[in-house]
A and B are shown apart, each in its own frame.
Chain A
């Protein structure tokens, strides 16, 4: 019986193509289709909610979302954006957003929406439950100059000037607090520094005076001078010898007297410096008085200060909002050339940097050409507006983004809204302009001052607002105005005096207007804020408080003066004593110098006369000798 040589099953040679993979591939494709049909919308909705929450800074909910892959369309419904400041309210609520994307752009990895519909937009709607508010993100690097500027302003505006004034009116005696002041005043430090400086000067002068020529040095010179033979000069050669000796004495004298002259001018300079330090002390004392006033919350009764205390935070919030939106606009719609300049931050190195190679007919990464905003309510009222050309590369699109909105939110009592926003990043310098006006909106229970001594607010008012802003590069120009009509004030105070003062200040005031202008760069803003409420409060409070404030200021001044008086007196006495001592010592040396100089001058003059006499005598003798010789020769 034949047995097969090899019982092994013959190995079938396999080709390079995996034919048997067709079925698994079809299964995979089927699974992908199934995923997009059943789960994609839900996952996309959650992804969008997450992204929008991060951008909004508070929870964003999307009620429903439908996509169609073949139509490249999307429907987003019941969008609620929580107001981060009031988590029980929605900042914006949108009933429905519909749009279709172009497949042509999608195939190129871009999103192009020709027209979107945004229906039924509402603001300040009530949420069923409080939205989650995200903690503020820590700055990527240290605070910028503009952050520091805004933080300083926040500190300045958040002070409760009106409350502090009311506390004084209620009977608080600020001067009593002076006794509690501990720690050093700037004046103390300044005086200590002056003392140190004066001791140092004294020590220096002690050393310098010791190094100056003494009386013996000048006596030695005088002795040498007396030994110069002036009277016995007979001829020119003797004159020459005496002159040389005199010159040597004079040179030595000059060398020794020079430091004394220099010391004289040096002493004047040092004494002048000490005098200046005393003048500076007055400035430091004034600064101390100002600091103490601030520490004791002794405010100034200035209408500007009061205006900032009343409305400064409002304007600052608007400014911060404007900056937040500006930052986002510049991040997502970079100005021409800004994208090329931007380098990825170290923490984003794994994400790299996207380059754009668009051409005139290409698509930017995202382009919403037109979005219609509609919101029709019963009675024909509602909201209408449009957004044009929201694109990530405006230089490529060649047009700025323009958003307009007009209409009413009658349910919120807001009417006559007109808004226009232009984001122009088509050129290298980014420009954002906004104009917003609201003809009427209701205000109820708005607090302006909230302190233990007094509260002040609008119980009810009908308000109108205007806001214009132009942000150009780093330049800021903002004008905000508000007018509150038919104002009913709400004020409470424990003290009858404060109640009376507030009532008197606010009497007859039923319209409050506020006008704020902010100009400059983000790192250096110039504020101008005025309101007739601030003026009225300043006028009214002045009657009650001016005397008390003046008295308190005087007490502070006196207290500081008293605290430094002894030290100041001691220093002044020390300075006078030092001045007279050093001046007298120097004057003594200077007198010796002057006397010796006079002696030297007298000797010089004497020698000069003797030289002339000797020369004349020699001339005479020569003449006589010549005459005698001539006489002899004639004979």
Chain B
């Protein structure tokens, strides 16, 4: 729980700083793939591994995973239709037969219409989410954060002793 809270606070800090745009955007894109994939699947574990190994904002990934899982659930009929069309494509049958009988690959459950449809959708949408969120984060910092820092409330708050103590603490402990 502490780790999770730390990640969430990290997300807020990064979002309101001038750095880490790529980390947050990558986190959101990973969250999209996680949300669209089944809970226990090979692709889900691979995304988790990537989140741990690479500098991806885990808080952003987890929050967006929950949100995208809900969206994916609503879009299951669409995913089913797309997946069924792909899995029934005659020219792809030899490929699917090979993949189905390979080790590990069937653990992705690609042979399920909803998983296949949602997987294809998430792969197609991931770059859009990555670049779109990057643009939105920049806009947010320009329009919201900068304006908020000019507000009397922020000036009053940043002048308090507690705020000064907190900023110096953060400098040393990160």
Contacts and interface: CB of A to CB of B under 8 A. Distances in A.
A356 B111 contact: yes
Given A14-B55, A28-B52, A363-B101, 18 more contacts: A9-B171, A17-B54, A18-B54, A18-B55, A24-B3, A25-B52, A108-B101, A350-B73, A351-B112, A352-B76, A352-B115, A353-B84, A355-B96, A357-B111, A358-B97, A359-B101, A361-B101, A362-B100
Most chain A beta carbons < 10 A, residue from B73, B83, B103, B104: B103
Contacts of B5: none
Nearest to A11: B19
A238 B80 CA distance: 98
Interface in A93-131: 104, 107-110
B131 to A, nearest CB: 18
B93 interface: yes
A344 interface: yes
Given A18-B54, A24-B52, A352-B83, A362 B101 contact: yes
B83 to A, nearest CB: 7
Interface in B85-104: 87-88, 93, 96-97, 99-104
B103 A355 contact: no
A25 B77 CA distance: 36
Contacts of A18: 52-55
B67 interface: no
B128 interface: no
A3 interface: no
Given A108-B106, A109-B106, A355-B111, A16 B55 contact: yes
A28 B93 CA distance: 38
8 contacts: A25-B52, A107-B103, A107-B104, A108-B105, A352-B76, A357-B97, A358-B101, A359-B101
Contacts of B76: 349-350, 352
Given A349-B76, A357-B101, A8 B171 contact: yes
A352 B113 contact: yes
Chain B interface category by residue count: 35 or more
A354 interface: yes
A405 to B, nearest CB: 34
A211 interface: no
B144 interface: no
Chain A interface category by residue count: 20 to 34
B104 A352 contact: no
A67 to B, nearest CB: 17
A21 interface: yes
A24 B51 CA distance: 12
Most chain B beta carbons < 10 A, residue from A21, A24, A104, A362: A21
B55 A17 contact: yes
Contacts of A356: 100, 111
B141 interface: no
Contacts of B111: 354-357
A152 to B, nearest CB: 38
A14 B56 CA distance: 12
A16 B171 CA distance: 22
Interface string B60-88: 00000000000001001101100110011
A362 B77 CA distance: 30
Contacts of A358: 97, 100-101
A475 B93 CA distance: 35
B87 A355 contact: yes
Nearest to A14: B55
Contact of A354 (B77, B112, B171): B112
Interface of B: 3, 52-55, 73, 76-77, 79-80, 83-84, 87-88, 93, 96-97, 99-107, 109, 111-115, 117, 171-172
A323 B52 CA distance: 52
A15 interface: yes
A344 B80 contact: yes
Nearest to A104: B103
Interface of A: 8-9, 14-18, 21, 24-25, 28, 104, 107-110, 344, 349-359, 361-363
A602 to B, nearest CB: 90
A518 B54 CA distance: 68
A349 B93 contact: no
A352 B112 contact: yes
A352 B171 contact: no
Given A108-B102, A109-B106, A352 B53 contact: no
A348 to B, nearest CB: 10
Contacts of A107: 103-104, 107
Contacts of B107: 107, 109
A24 B3 CA distance: 10
Contacts of B109: 109
B97 A359 contact: yes
A630 to B, nearest CB: 110
Given A107-B103, A107-B104, A355-B87, A349 B55 contact: no
Nearest to B88: A355
Contacts of B3: 24
Contacts of A110: 106
Contacts of A355: 87-88, 96, 111-113
A351 B115 CA distance: 9
Contacts of B115: 352
Given A109-B106, A109-B107, A352-B112, A357 B80 contact: no
Contacts of A344: 80, 113
B101 A349 contact: no
A356 B104 CA distance: 16
A145 to B, nearest CB: 30
A337 to B, nearest CB: 14
A9 to B, nearest CB: 6
Given A108-B101, A344-B80, A350-B73, A357 B55 contact: no
Most chain B beta carbons < 10 A, residue from A16, A17, A358, A363: A16
Contacts of A21: 52-53
B104 to A, nearest CB: 6
Most chain B beta carbons < 10 A, residue from A14, A24, A353: A353
Contact of A353 (B96, B105, B112): B112
A17 B53 contact: yes
Given A108-B103, A357-B96, A358-B100, A349 B77 contact: yes
Most chain B beta carbons < 10 A, residue from A344, A352, A362: A352
Nearest to A109: B106
Given A17-B53, A352-B76, A357 B83 contact: no
Contacts of A352: 76, 79-80, 83-84, 112-115, 117
Given A9-B171, A108-B106, A109-B109, A353 B80 contact: yes
